[in-house]
Amino acid sequence: MFCRECGMEIGKKVKVCPNCGVKPLHGTKHCQACGANTKSKHELCKNCGAQLITKGAALKEENAPKTAKAASFCMPVVGIILFFIWHAKEPEKAKSICNWTIGGVAFGMILYVFGIVWGGFSAATGY
């Protein structure tokens, strides 16, 4: 792949470009697939047609919307659906929604267990 900042060819696993010192996918000036010049607003490379990856911009919206988090916390089914929708395209979002879904399930289970204990307690002492 190529550094998106300076266009130098680098290995796939390189985390910081040895030429310019920027994280390779945090730049917007070159295509990561062919190294051609790109502009920050470009979604696809004009030269090779590759989908341009911009980690810097993606970071800002890595977190799922609050409403989606709340929904998946209250209704884990929603979280699971959102997870499957997002996990191919937006793994970061999917991850965060996954955490909220697990949190919601755990919270539900605590309430459930509490309900059983409470029910057992009141049944034992109630009558």
How many residues touch Zn ion (CB under 5 A)? 14
* Binding residue (CB under 5 A) for Zn ion from 28, 47, 63, 99: 47
How far apart are CB 37 and Zn ion at their closest, in Å?
9
Question: Mask of contacts with Zn ion, 12-31, x by CB under 5 A?
Answer: -----x-xx----------x
Separation between Cα atoms, residue 56 and residue 24, nearest integer Å: 10
Cα separations (Å) of 117 from 45, 74, 79, 106, 110?
60, 22, 28, 16, 10
* Binding residue (CB under 5 A) for Zn ion from 28, 29, 33, 75: 33
The residue written with tokens 């109630």 in the block is: 126
What is the maximum span of the chain, computed from C-alpha positions, in angstroms? 79
> Residue 126: what residue type?
G
Between 42 and 115, whose beta carbon lies closer to Zn ion?
Answer: 42
**Count of residues making up the chain:** 127
* Binding residue (CB under 5 A) for Zn ion from 23, 28, 29, 34: 34
- Which residues of this protein are in contact with Zn ion, per CB under 5 A? 3, 5-6, 17, 19-20, 31, 33-34, 36, 45, 47-48, 50
